[in-house]
Amino acid sequence: MTYQSMTTAWCVAILLLAVTGANGLYVLELVQVAHRHGVSPPPVATPNREKLCSPNGASSCTAIAKRGVEQMTAMGAHIRQLYSGDAATFGSATWFQSPYDVSAVSTHSIADPATVQAAAALLGGIYASENATIVPTIISTAPERDALLNVEAFPSSTITRMINAKAFNATLESVVDEQFPDASVVEAMGAEVGLDAALCSAPATRMVCCQQLQKLAVMYAAMGATDSAPTVMANKAKLDAVAAAYFHVSQGYNASVPQDVARGSLGLPLARELLRNMRAKMLPVGDANRNTKIMMQYAHRVPIQTALGHDPSDATPLGETFLVDLLRDDATNAYFVRLRYAAATNGAPAAAFFPFRCLSAADVPTDATTADGVICPFDDFTRFVESSSGTSAAGAACYLDEETRKKFGCSVEGAAPRRSAPTIVPCARRRRVPEVRSTM
């Protein structure tokens, strides 16, 4: 497999000296990986599942799941190659040469089969040689309770959409109408892959149909099966536009939108977790609270990119991976953060640039753009991440605007209101969301 190079050591060194003012060699202190899963088939209980996986019968759901594992194994191998080939950073070349050690590597994953499988596959790609396999230890929380790795467990996301469903759906329905003025095209695509006819014909559910069609189109493209559903694939760009609109309405962050400013980025809880891990690594050797891990992995379903300056115009790519390294200047002992990004494209990881910028307290740029990412002082990286924090003390996971709170009739304090079960459950969830921290 051919990989796009993500490192040019001498260019990195020159840029860092010129832009950040670093005085010498960088020492790698901690690697953190935040990633999504690769291609995956519809859940097992999905009606007409096999036809959805392969409308023409040329593939199967099993083959799709296998491809997803291959993608994330390749991502892991790519990460290993990236660090082993970095001669400019002290310790990087041998960082992943030691056998997998659960005491040195922590892995957290949302308890979703595809995501857990992706976490294990990525670790396998990093650590497993041709003659060895690893048995990873993965810490998981039920999806409905995982307020760190699953955005659907954030009351700010689920309750807001539930209470304001009419306006939310109307916004997305207008996007569907714009992309598909001829409603029969949506019906034809649904029939082609075996989706429920009523789902794709009713105006109120065409948006849901398009979302499912987009996921299937991504799946077919990843499998190279573009001929399995020609009508769907011919309209993939339009389906991607619908998916992008859904992301921006439900999970996006826009500093000019008052509700977003109050709530903050939905990617902030996980981004802050990465910051906490780095601060703990900076503690003196021997401190009981010092982070002793060499790698911390998070397999997630949260829009962390909105807290890291990457807001794609299209749908979130398969296997989206952020590498967040803590570096120490060997001469000054100052700490820096290196941020890199990759995605699984046609099964092969590839580097991608994004408009991340670090600013000092005086609003002066302090980042150095390297051959494959960005490096900046730790405090300035923290400042950028925190710039997407909300003005409300409730935090990104729990914030509800005043109108939504009134409609919902739910407060953080006191007993749950006497309402029907569907209402009580998310109301109780809003109370119990903890500030989740990693196990060092």
What is the full DSSP assignment across 114-145?
Answer: HHHHHHHHHHHHHH--TT-------EEE-GGG
d(CA 209, CA 211) in angstroms, rounded, equals: 5
> To which residue do tokens 């921290």 refer?
437
- The confidence score (pLDDT) of residue 14 equals 34
List, for residues 30-85, the tens digit of each pLDDT value.
Answer: 999 999 999 999 999 999 999 999 999 999 999 999 999 999 999 999 999 999 99
Strands 368-369 and 373-377: antiparallel
- The confidence score (pLDDT) of residue 343 equals 83
* 239 has pLDDT over 70: yes
Q: Report the percent of the chain where pLDDT is more than 70.
A: 83
Instruction: Find all residues with CB under 8 Å of 237, minimum gap 6, and list them.
Output: none
Instruction: Find all residues with CB under 8 Å of 219, minimum gap 6, and list them.
Output: 39, 40, 41, 53, 64
Mean pLDDT of 212-222: 96
Other C-beta atoms lying within 10 Å of the C-beta of residue 51: 14
List, for residues 361-411, the tens digit of each pLDDT value.
Answer: 887 878 777 777 789 999 999 998 998 899 998 888 888 888 888 888 765
Instruction: Give the DSSP letter of residue 305.
Output: G
More confidently predicted of 162 and 327:
327
**CB 266, CB 306: distance < 8 Å:** yes
**CB 145, CB 423: distance < 8 Å:** no
Query: CA Rg, the chain, in Å?
Result: 22
Other C-beta atoms lying within 10 Å of the C-beta of residue 178: 12
Give the chain's domains with CATH numbers: 9-157+263-386 (3.40.50.1240)
Strands 295-299 and 368-369: unpaired
- The confidence score (pLDDT) of residue 2 equals 41
Strands 321-329 and 335-345: antiparallel
**H-helix segments, 304-434:** 378-386, 402-408, 421-432
- The confidence score (pLDDT) of residue 311 equals 63
List, for residues 385-397, the tens digit of each pLDDT value.
Answer: 998 899 998 888 8
* 428 has pLDDT over 60: no
- The confidence score (pLDDT) of residue 266 equals 93
- The confidence score (pLDDT) of residue 411 equals 57
d(CA 296, CA 309) in angstroms, rounded, equals: 21
- The confidence score (pLDDT) of residue 438 equals 43
Backbone angles phi, psi at 193, to 5 degrees: -105, -10
List, for residues 145-194, the tens digit of each pLDDT value.
Answer: 999 999 999 988 888 888 888 888 999 999 999 999 999 999 999 999 99
Reference 206, options 215, 197, 193, 216; nearest CA is: 197
Mean pLDDT of 229-237: 97
- The confidence score (pLDDT) of residue 4 equals 41
**CB 218, CB 193: distance < 8 Å:** no
* 12 has pLDDT over 70: no
> Over the chain, what is the mean pLDDT?
85
- The confidence score (pLDDT) of residue 212 equals 97
- The confidence score (pLDDT) of residue 8 equals 34
* 359 has pLDDT over 50: yes
